């Protein structure tokens, strides 16, 4: 058993030991909400103006704060877009697309084929299809934002919506940033990569439940996973480097880095806390910081109310619909 706050406190300390200081972007988002013109300010480009980076300025860290602030601002629109555009069947269940590059060639709508497939194949198809579904929704969100930006540009009046302004500032910041250009990232690729990581962790939670508590029924597992979300959220507060190293050390991250593999039985990330909820094990935490890296914000989705919960709701509902818990229990 583990205490529920062990991981969060250990993770924060490990970041500090690696020389990293957390910068909350919540106050910057509040400033934008009150004063949308702040989007065009030089302060925002320098990391939000009020952040503790003035003492030791770093261009890459400032770019991270600016980009993650703008993403978090635009993710409220993404959250609402996903919730409203999620395809549901007549039973209210998520309709999954055929994963285009899946090696298995199974249509998730073919329930007989899914039931007959080995567990690792079924899990791979569901994970792959979930990522592909959200990729399409993310593309639609980005297209709507770019269309809105172009609409105001074409008007030529100088007027612009806050969302279009944030899209413009985000795009130009990414284009001008050596940090993001080195990685080849744009708004779409950052969001899809983060989405895949979130989906991977949500599926891993689902798959961990029967490993930690054998012989429960699907309803009990579903309840456990949903009630445990707050225990796993601290992962989203991490620096990217610390997150990746934790996932690798704990067995969450597969050798090929793809989010389509079943959680291994020997994983060490998920344990039970004193209340019987799933929480994260602090032991695999690995200190890591890039040269010159001093500040981190955590994932933009952490600052978007209800966003991480929405992804878990999608994954958990798919798991129940496809009888995943029963298959996992017999693993």
Contacts of 10 (CB under 8 A, 6+ apart): 282, 285
Instruction: Identify the bridge partners of residue 278 per DSSP, sorted by sequence position.
Output: 272
Q: Which of 205, 328, 202, 214 is nearest to 278 (CA)?
A: 205
The CA distances from residue 275 to 4, 52, 223, 224, in Å, are 8, 37, 14, 11
Q: Is the confidence at residue 49, as pLDDT, over 70?
A: no
Q: What pLDDT does 52 receive?
A: 59
**pLDDT surpasses 60 at 2:** no
Is 56's pLDDT higher than 80? no
Angle at 188 between CA 174 and CA 84, to 5 degrees: 135
The partner residues of 295 in beta bridges, in order of sequence, read 21
pLDDT tens track for 123-146: 999 999 999 999 999 999 999 999
Cα–Cα distance for residue pair 36/247, rounded to 1 Å: 37
Q: How confident is the model at residue 55 (pLDDT cuts 50, 70, 90)?
A: low
Choose among 301, 92, 55: nearest CA to 191.
301
Residue in 324, 326, 282 with CA at minimum distance from that of residue 130: 324
Q: Please state, in angstroms and rounded to a whole number, the distance separating the CA atoms of residues 201 and 143.
A: 27
**Residue carrying the six token digits 């992962």:** 235
Model confidence at 158, pLDDT cuts 50, 70, 90, reads confident
Please state, in angstroms and rounded to a whole number, the distance separating the CA atoms of residues 209 and 205: 6
**Contact between residue 97 and residue 110 where contact means Cβ atoms under 8 Å apart:** no
User: Which residue, chain included where needed, has tokens 């555009």?
Assistant: 85
- Give the pLDDT band (50/70/90) at residue 257: confident
Question: Averaged over 24-47, what is the pLDDT?
Answer: 91
Q: What is the pLDDT of residue 102?
A: 82
Phi, psi angle pair for 57, to nearest 5°: -65, 140
Q: Contact, 297 vs 20, CB < 8 A? A: no
Give the residue-averaged pLDDT of 42-67.
Answer: 76
CB 309 within 8 A of CB 229: yes
Residue-averaged pLDDT of the chain: 92
Average pLDDT over residues 13-21: 96
Does 325 score more than 80 pLDDT? Answer: yes
- For the chain, give the number of residues: 331
Mind listing the pLDDT tens digit for each residue in 83-112? 999 999 999 999 999 998 888 889 999 999
């Amino acid at each position: 058993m583990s205490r529920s706050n062990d991981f969060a406190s250990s993770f924060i300390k490990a970041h500090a030991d690696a020389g990293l200081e957390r910068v909350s972007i919540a106050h910057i988002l509040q400033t934008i909400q009150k004063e949308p013109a702040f989007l065009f300010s030089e302060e925002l480009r320098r990391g939000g103006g009020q952040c503790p980076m003035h003492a030791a300025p770093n261009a890459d860290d400032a770019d991270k704060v600016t980009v993650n602030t703008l993403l978090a601002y635009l993710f409220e629109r993404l959250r609402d877009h996903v919730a409203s555009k999620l395809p549901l069947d007549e039973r209210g269940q998520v309709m999954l697309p055929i994963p285009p590059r899946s090696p298995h060639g199974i249509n998730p709508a073919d329930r007989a084929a899914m039931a007959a497939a080995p567990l690792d194949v079924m899990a791979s198809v569901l994970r792959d299809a979930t990522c592909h579904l959200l990729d399409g929704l993310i593309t639609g969100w980005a297209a709507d934002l770019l269309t809105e930006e172009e609409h105001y540009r074409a008007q030529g009046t100088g007027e612009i919506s806050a969302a279009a302004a944030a899209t413009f500032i985000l795009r130009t910041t990414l284009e001008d940033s050596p940090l993001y250009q080195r990685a080849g990232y744009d708004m779409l690729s950052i969001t899809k990569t983060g989405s895949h990581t979130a989906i991977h962790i949500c599926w891993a939670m689902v798959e961990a439940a029967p490993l930690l508590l054998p012989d429960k029924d699907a309803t009990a597992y579903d309840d456990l996973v949903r009630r445990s979300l707050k225990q796993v959220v601290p992962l989203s507060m991490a620096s990217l480097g610390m997150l990746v190293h934790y996932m690798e050390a704990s067995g969450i991250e597969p050798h090929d880095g793809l989010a389509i593999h079943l959680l291994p039985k020997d994983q060490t990330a998920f344990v039970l806390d004193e209340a019987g909820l799933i929480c994260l094990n602090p032991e695999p935490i690995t200190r890591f910081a890039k040269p010159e890296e001093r500040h981190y914000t955590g994932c933009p989705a952490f600052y978007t109310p209800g966003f991480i919960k929405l992804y878990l709701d999608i994954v958990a509902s798919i798991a129940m619909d496809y009888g995943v818990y029963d298959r996992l229990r017999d693993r």
